[in-house]
Amino acid sequence: MIGEGPRPGEVQTFTALYNAQFDRVYRYLRYRLGNPVLAEDLAAEVFSRAWRKRDTLLPGDAATGWLFTTARHLVADHYRRGPDALPLDTVPPERHPRGAPPEVGVLLDERSALVRRAVAGLGDRERAVVELHFVADLRHREIAQALGTSEGNVAKILHRTLRRLRAALAHEEVTDEQPTGQTVHATGERR
């Protein structure tokens, strides 16, 4: 079913890799692309390439790093091709032609928007580290593999960036306390 002539155990190893890493890869792609359909497409491409590279793909952190390196390149290629249309996430539900029910919408509060804006304002390296850690749930060692740097460098960048973000968010009076009674904005989202 999978590929042509896989060696014994390869399918099981690949399946285990997929099950262990899919959620992280998909969430990272979806965050970067803002488009669940495109995220699915690129996630399929990431793992398809992983299967073709199975002979050289080492298990463990190296494989995780390779998956995210590939995912980052695919995202970069996607944006290099040109501006995308307006993501459907930004389509208000009431304007959706198929009358999407309100439950498909995702509530993004002001705090989330502020945090995302602060992260978007980081440098490429810092933003990559933050996204890989907080969105993809990668550990420092795995981030180091994905970015081709040292674990110590990742620790340093993340610590320094968190301090910057903390200062920036404090300036915006954003804290980690649960918001109560705040205004929220609904954003339509296709499933």
Partner 1 sequence: MNNRLDRLFTRRASAADRRFAALLDQAITRSSGSLADTTAEERAELATARLLRAALVPDAAPLADVRARVWREVQARIAPVAPPAPRWHGLLRRTRPLALAGLAALLLLFLPVLLTWPWSEEPVLTGPAAVLLQAASAAAPPAVPEGQVLHCIDAQTHGQPDRAPWSGQREVWLDPHRRLLRVDITGSPKTAGQPDSGIQRHTFDGTTAWQYQPSVGVVRRDATTYEQLATRFPCALGDDLTALRQVLARRAPETAVTIGDETLDGAPVTVLAICVAATDNRTAQLVFDTQLLAPAPTAAGFPVRYTFDRDGRLIRKESWILGSTAVIGPNEERLSYTFAPAEQYPASFFGPNAIARP
Burial per residue of 25-55, b for 16 or more beta-carbon CB atoms within 10 angstroms, e otherwise = bbbbbbbbbbbbebbeebbeebbebbbeebe
Choose between 45 and 69: whose C-beta lies nearer to partner 1. 45
Q: Does 13 bind partner 1 (CB under 8 A)?
A: no
DSSP 104: G
- Shortest gap between Cβ of 58 and partner 1 (angstroms)? 20
Contacts of partner 1 in 77-106 (CB under 8 A) = 81-82, 84-86, 88, 90-92, 95-99, 106
Total interface residues for partner 1 by CB under 8 A: 75
Residues 6+ away with beta carbon under 8 Å from 111:
174, 179, 182
Contacts of partner 1 in 25-44 (CB under 8 A) = 26-27, 31, 35-38, 40-41, 43-44
Q: Is the dihedral of CA 73, 188, 23, 175 positive or negative?
A: positive
Choose between 7 and 98: whose C-beta lies nearer to partner 1. 98
CB atoms within 10 A of CB 168: 17
Q: Does 10 bind partner 1 (CB under 8 A)?
A: no
DSSP-assigned letters across all residues of 53-79:
TTTT--STHHHHHHHHHHHHHHHHHHH
Compose the 41-80 pattern: x for residues touching partner 1 by CB under 8 A, - for all others: x-xxx-xx--xx----------------------------
Q: Does 185 bind partner 1 (CB under 8 A)?
A: no
